[in-house]
Amino acid sequence: MKVTLKVWRQKDAQSKGAFETYPMDNVNEDSSFLEMLDMLNESLTVQGKMPVEFDSDCREGICGQCGMVINGRANGHLEGTTTCQLHMRSFKDGETIYIEPFRASAFPVIRDLKVDRESLDRIIIAGGFISSHTGSAPEANSIPIGHATAESAFDSAACIGCGSCVATCKNSSASLFTAAKITHLAKLPQGQVEARKRALNMVKQMDIEGFGACTNTEACEVECPQNISVMNIARMNWEFHKAIL
């Protein structure tokens, strides 16, 4: 198949970027989106040109490092899918594809499609941990947790920190990410020791990093590759106000 790529090229956060056009022929429709970009970079390298820089790691939809905006949507047009799990067969032969980095002031561009998402790490550092005795693991039945509660906590913990919620939010809010990290620990007995401090510190750090506020458009849930529910944001607000009171 043939596609025309409009790829955002930018030297660094301080430089002005622009789209560059790359026609691609003989693209295997069963290749992943990142494999198609690898093919482009091989061609650019042979021509002595600078390859397009982008993030990737596991390429199995687990780590979330590969996020980019494709045709105006974070990770592309398929719901519940990371960029690395998006395949070329989902595009039309001859289609023009626009590829951009995640846009947010808290995600400065490193180069081309690669952005710095350390702001999410700093939110985790601010409170995403628990206090626990070291040594051998306790007997599982000694901390009884209802099945529904455990499943709900796992649903929140499924967040991979890709930043798609930030990229798709009109306010560049990290509320869904922060809420998922606060909520999955708030639901478990192991997370109760730091519950108040966690809610206060993580929300505070989110504001320090320059993320916008949540205005309940719910676009974050739509674009989240792990389908994290916005109900986590309601729980975060409850935990935060409880901590204040």
Mean pLDDT of 72-84: 96
d(CA 198, CA 124): 9
Looking at residue 2, its pLDDT comes to 97
User: b/e per residue, 51-64, with b = 16+ CB within 10 A?
Assistant: ebbbbbeebebebb
Compute and round to an integer the Cα radius of gyration of the chain. 20
Pairing of β 18-24 and β 3-9: antiparallel
Mean pLDDT of 233-240: 97
213 burial level (CB within 10 Å; 0-12, 13-18, 19+): exposed
Of 74, 82, 94, which Cα lies nearest the Cα of 58?
Answer: 82
Q: Are 30 and 14 in contact (CB under 8 A)?
A: no
Looking at residue 135, its pLDDT comes to 79
Q: Are 73 and 103 in contact (CB under 8 A)?
A: no
Q: In what order do the strands lie in the sheet with 73-74?
A: 18-24, 3-9, 96-100, 69-70, 73-74
Dihedral of CA atoms 229, 74, 108, 237 in degrees, nearest 10, equals: -10
Q: 142 pLDDT exceeds 80?
A: no
Domains 3-111 and 118-131+145-244 agree in fold: no
Instruction: Name the strand (E) or helix (H) holding 7.
Output: strand 3-9
Looking at residue 144, its pLDDT comes to 82
Looking at residue 197, its pLDDT comes to 96
In the chain, domain spans: 3-111, 118-131+145-244
Q: Are 186 and 195 in contact (CB under 8 A)?
A: yes
Q: Which tens digit of pLDDT belongs to each residue from 109-141? A: 999 999 999 999 999 999 998 887 777 877 767
d(CA 152, CA 188): 10
Pairing of β 3-9 and β 96-100: parallel
pLDDT, mean over the chain: 95
Instruction: Name the strand (E) or helix (H) holding 96.
Output: strand 96-100
d(CA 218, CA 230): 7
Looking at residue 223, its pLDDT comes to 96
Considering the domain delimited by 3-111, tell me its CATH architecture: Roll (3.10)
Q: How far apart are the first and last CA of the chain?
A: 60
Looking at residue 4, its pLDDT comes to 98
Q: Which tens digit of pLDDT belongs to each residue from 24-71? A: 999 999 999 999 999 999 999 999 999 999 999 999 999 999 999 999
- Angle between the N-to-C axes of helices 175-186 and 195-208, in degrees from 0 to 180, rounded to the nearest 10: 170
Q: Which tens digit of pLDDT belongs to each residue from 154-196? A: 999 999 999 999 999 999 999 999 999 999 999 999 899 999 9
The CATH number assigned to the domain with range 118-131+145-244 reads 1.10.1060.10
Mean pLDDT of 145-162: 94
Looking at residue 167, its pLDDT comes to 97
Looking at residue 139, its pLDDT comes to 75
Q: Give 221's pLDDT tier (boundaries 50, 70, 90).
A: very high
Secondary structure class of 181 (helix, strand, coil): helix
